[in-house]
Amino acid sequence: MRPGSIFAMGICVSLGSLCAQDCAPMARILPGGTVSGTLATSSCRLLDGTAYSAFRLDLPVRGQIAISLTGNTTDFLLTLRDAAGRRIGSGVSLTQPIEAGSYTVLVSAAKSGVSGDYNVTATFTPEVGMICSGFPNLGRRQMAAGRLPGAGCRAPDGSAYEAYTLTTDGSGTLTVNVDSTDFSPLIAVRSIDGHLLAPPAASPVNVVLNGDSQYLVVISSADKLGAFAITTTYQTAGNETCRSRKTLTASDSDTNTISATSCFLTIAGSGDQSYYNYYNLTLTAPGLVDVTAISGDFNATLNLLDAAGDLLTSNAGGGGYDSLYNLQSSLRAQLPAGSYRLQVFSDVPSGGAYTLKYAFTEGEPKPCVPAALNFGDLLTGTLSAESCRTSAGIADVYALTLAASGTVDLDMSTTAFNTILEIRDGKDNLVVRNDEVDGVSVSHITADLPAGVYTVVAAASSGAGSYRLAAKFTQRDLPACSYAQALDLNGGYIQRLGPGSCRASNGQPVDYYTFTLSADSLVLAVMTSSEVDGYLTLTDAAGNVLRTDDNSYGSNDPLIVQYLRAGSYTLAARDASSTVGGLYEVDLRTSTGSRPPFCTPRGTLTPGMTATGVITYTGCQYLDNTFADFYQITLAADGPLDIRLDSSDFDAYLLLLDAKGAVVDEDDDSGGDTNARINAGAAGASGALAAGTYTIVVKPFGDYTSHGKYTLSTK
């Protein structure tokens, strides 16, 4: 190290399996469940050398999470990370609000050499009146444990349910079995948009499914609640050409072709098909999986999925070129024993021929090894199939120690691949990340950081090859932010995020806004910008995080709707990535009074009744991020039901749900102009509606900004 330098770095030594990777979560922790494990010399390792285990936590609705760690709590640490890898809580226990989504629960040793047993228990309380969505994945051939209630999902009739998202590879027959010693399970299968394919029934349930589709498997109870085990099997249809090309159990290879008879996925938005072949992997022991795909016809993308269908790692072009200058894609992953699925995607519809090479080395995970670099030096490195594997992709890893606070500037440039730069803390939690800027293969991070131990990850999202990394450091004090802009209730504020802003915990610009509620109120806060990828955080007067949001108002605009007690609150507005600068607007709307029903019915109707209302943010945030009002309607006998929704303020859309929440019917413009009409069970329709209670969903069509008055009539 140069005299006076306060920063050291290192790169992964390219020695085959000596360069390992982040270990992906290999097991789930259920809301309301407990997992047990052991940290030992065979465990995965953080870059500081400490052992860790990772568990996946899936929440289909927001609420309050409580996670506790028992065992060797003196030397063990519990960390909750979001899907990006950012730390959102740590300790031997934590209790805090949490958004819907997928998280990682990490159990790690406080120092090297620590080992022992542990238990982790998660308790979850859902926020009342919300819709569950984004359910955890379930494999076509899998055994999994569950609990009812777990995430706290409730059907319109108030009954508890759990649901899973299942994706097919080709058409076939799905069989679902659910066993429980606590209650009598009922199983239903729906299309991904909620239409019923198999009504609730006792095990086993068999249903024919199409290829290229996602489905929902819904578990409910005929009586009590409790734990259950779910098992799925799948029989591929006899004429289906989308089939596993091979089952890989040991080092092996395969030469094959992607063609019009291969599997395909429909690309959302465009309707185009992306074609792929897949392989089953069976590991009888833990070890290192190494896969390479080589083709002269297309650039391959490799996806490695676990038994549930969760993506563990992916790579496109990370293996460089072979002797014939064919682009290679390469995966390396440390995996426990179990079943996995490998997908080989073509980047062109015509597909073509490829060769797949598979190697498996039984053994314990091996960490990446760093080497030193000083500030002011210009590093030239190379990413290849032998590089370290991280959650960002193939990478070189650099260890940082800042003896004083200051500004870190990092630049990564290349002409060979798409770059990613990350700064992580001493326990590998993401601090800040920047991908290539505007496709020019240059990533840049400027971060104001306190003294401490950090890690830089220089990675490739796709491709491989040589790169340059420059690092600079400017020592300076980081003063606390002493200013927050007062935000008027039912007002807005235009601001520029940039050098004059405060600094968030990730070293990036942030602006703070305060507001005070004199009475309990429903609050809407939205951040809009054409220049900034917005991110909003709502905290109370004590600094506790109540809500966060990234893009509920659109692809780059965050929206928070929350019922709050009288008091003072703060909004933090920043960019979701490390991009610095840009104009944006923060708007605040409030409505005093009691808590709205949100996604519970606003009223009960019978045929012949009419209701009027206003679609606004006091309604339900529906699955497509529009706002909706719900009404309950009861049919005393089997028969037709005519529902009309009229509005001159928005393009009306109607849905009719059964008592368990499955879609019975839906309509956009059958009422004339942009009005909606559902005429269920009428003459010529497919049978009368059965007597019972249904839910009418009143909403705009496809526009989350739509709002206004409406009239709902039934007969």
DSSP string, 255-275: EEEE-TTSEEEEPTTT--EEE
Sheet order of strands, 610-615 included? 610-615, 708-714, 641-646, 676-680
Could you tell me which residues are beta bridge partners of residue 291? 331, 358
DSSP string, 662-703: -EEEEESSTTSTT-EEEEET-TTSSSPBPSEEEEEEEEESS-
Q: Indicate the pTM of the whole model.
A: 0.92
Res 3: pLDDT:
30
Res 373: pLDDT:
65
Res 269: pLDDT:
67
Question: Into which CATH architecture does domain 16-126 fall?
Answer: Sandwich (2.60)
User: 325-356 in b/e burial notation, b at 16+ Cβ within 10 A?
Assistant: ebbbbbbbbbbeeeebbbbbbbbeeebeebbb
Q: Which of 314, 288, 289 is nearest to 303 (CA)?
A: 314
> Which distant-in-sequence residues (6+ apart) come within 8 Å of 3 by Cβ?
none
Res 390: pLDDT:
85
- Sequence ranges of the chain with CATH classification 2.60.120.380: 16-126, 153-168+170-236, 244-362, 378-475, 485-592, 604-714
Res 439: pLDDT:
58
Res 450: pLDDT:
96
Asked if CATH classification 2.60.120.380 holds for the domain at 485-592, the reply, yes or no, is yes
The token pair at 592 is 């005093």
If phi > 0 it is left, if psi is from -120 to 50 it is alpha, else beta; for residue 507 that is left
Res 18: pLDDT:
30
CA dihedral 702, 705, 710, 712 (to 10 degrees): 40
**How many angstroms separate the CA atoms of 168 and 170, rounded?**
6
Burial class (CB in 10 A: 0-12, 13-18, 19+), 504: buried
Q: Which of 246, 202, 277 is nearest to 358 (CA)?
A: 246
- For the domain bounded by 153-168+170-236, which CATH number is listed? 2.60.120.380
Q: 627 by DSSP, 3-state: which?
A: strand
In 112-251, which ranges are E strands? 116-126, 142-148, 162-167, 172-179, 185-191, 196-201, 205-209, 214-221, 226-236, 244-248
Res 412: pLDDT:
94
The token pair at 610 is 């009419």
**How many angstroms separate the CA atoms of 129 and 99, rounded?**
14
Asked if CATH classification 2.30.30.60 holds for the domain at 244-362, the reply, yes or no, is no
Pairing of strands 27-28, 51-59: parallel
Question: Into which CATH architecture does domain 378-475 fall?
Answer: Sandwich (2.60)
- Run means of pLDDT, 10 residues per run, the chain, 715 residues: 33 33 80 93 86 94 96 90 93 95 94 91 95 95 93 94 94 97 97 95 95 92 93 95 93 95 83 92 91 95 94 88 84 90 95 96 79 80 87 88 94 92 93 78 91 92 91 93 93 93 93 97 95 95 95 87 97 86 94 95 95 96 92 94 97 97 96 94 70 97 87 96
**How many angstroms separate the CA atoms of 652 and 706, rounded?**
10
Amino acid at 595: R
The token pair at 346 is 């073509």
- For the domain bounded by 604-714, which CATH number is listed? 2.60.120.380
The token pair at 213 is 């589709």
Res 631: pLDDT:
98
